[in-house]
Each structure stands twice: as structure tokens, then as C-alpha cells.
Amino acid sequence: MKRLLISSLFLLSFLFTKAQSKDTLSYKDFDKIPVLPGGVSGFDNYIHENLKYPESARKNQIEGTLYVSFDVKPDGNTTNIKIVKGLSPDTDAEVLRLIKNLPKWAPAMLNGHAIRFGYFKPIVFKLPTRN
């Protein structure tokens, strides 16, 4: 009886895990992932051209990688912007400013329909080296 109960629980947990995995999509499942004007490198170019290193971070020699997450809505606008791992209040505020001012994306497409797409991006703050 105990073996039957353990076997049943194992089978149920296996079926539950299989059902959950169908709800998880990978990049390969999408017709198209979202892109900014300028193609795949458009986001990196935007960051490189528009990031303003905060003076307080420069003064305090704050460097490192900040992580931000946001959603690209079906209309191409960004929403739900969150600093996942910040560096300082000023660097965090600068990245929030950048993401809020992003141009419209070409949205993600799934089965021919524009959909919301979650995005996670590391942004590196690195001071120039002095020789």
C-alpha cells in the first residue's frame, strides 16, 4: 500500500511537471522576438549612445553590472521596468531613464500575433582607465 501511494505521488508529480513545461516558451517558440530599430544590435547601440554615467558614480568610482527587467508590450512600448540588481541609486535611476525613453520596439510575434515579451538585460558601468 505504501509503495502504491509513493508510486502514485511520483506519477502525479511527473505529470504536473510535464504540464507546466508546456507553458514555458523559449526563444525558438516565437515567430519573432522584439527588436528595436537598428536590428538585433539596436538595443546595445541605444545604450552605448545614450547612457550618461552619473557624476556621483564617477566620483565614487562605482563600476559593475546592473540588471534590469521589463516587458515589451504588443504595441511596442516598454512597461513593468524593474531594477533586478542595482549598483547605486544614481546608476539605477539612469538605467530607468534609459528604458523609459526607449523608442518603440517591433513587438514579439507568436502564431502571427503580437504578444507581451519579458526582457532581462545586464548593463555594464565601467569607468575609462587612465594611463
pLDDT in tens, the chain (131 residues): 444 434 343 433 443 433 334 455 555 677 888 999 888 788 899 999 999 999 999 999 999 999 999 999 999 999 999 999 999 999 999 999 999 999 999 999 988 999 999 989 999 999 988 66
The pLDDT score that the predictor gives to residue 25 is 58
Could you give the C-alpha distances from 97 to 26, 35, 39, 51, 60, in angstroms and in order?
Answer: 29, 19, 22, 9, 21
In a domain, 110, yes or no: yes
In a domain, 15, yes or no: no
Q: By residue range, what is the domain housing residue 95? A: 25-125
In a domain, 16, yes or no: no
The pLDDT score that the predictor gives to residue 33 is 85
User: Which single residue is written with the C-alpha cell 569607468?
Assistant: 127
In a domain, 64, yes or no: yes
The pLDDT score that the predictor gives to residue 7 is 39
The pLDDT score that the predictor gives to residue 126 is 93
Count of domains observed in the chain: 1
Could you give the C-alpha distances from 78 to 4, 20, 46, 69, 82, in angstroms and in order?
Answer: 51, 27, 14, 10, 11
CB 42 within 8 A of CB 36: yes
Q: What's the rounded Cα separation, in Å, for the pair 99 and 33? A: 18
In a domain, 97, yes or no: yes
Residue 68 is placed in which grid cell?
Answer: 534590469
The pLDDT score that the predictor gives to residue 91 is 97
In a domain, 53, yes or no: yes
In a domain, 11, yes or no: no
Residue 104 is placed in which grid cell?
Answer: 518603440
The pLDDT score that the predictor gives to residue 77 is 96
Residue 35 maps to which CATH number? 3.30.1150
Distance of CA 1 to the CA centre of its chain: 48
In a domain, 101, yes or no: yes
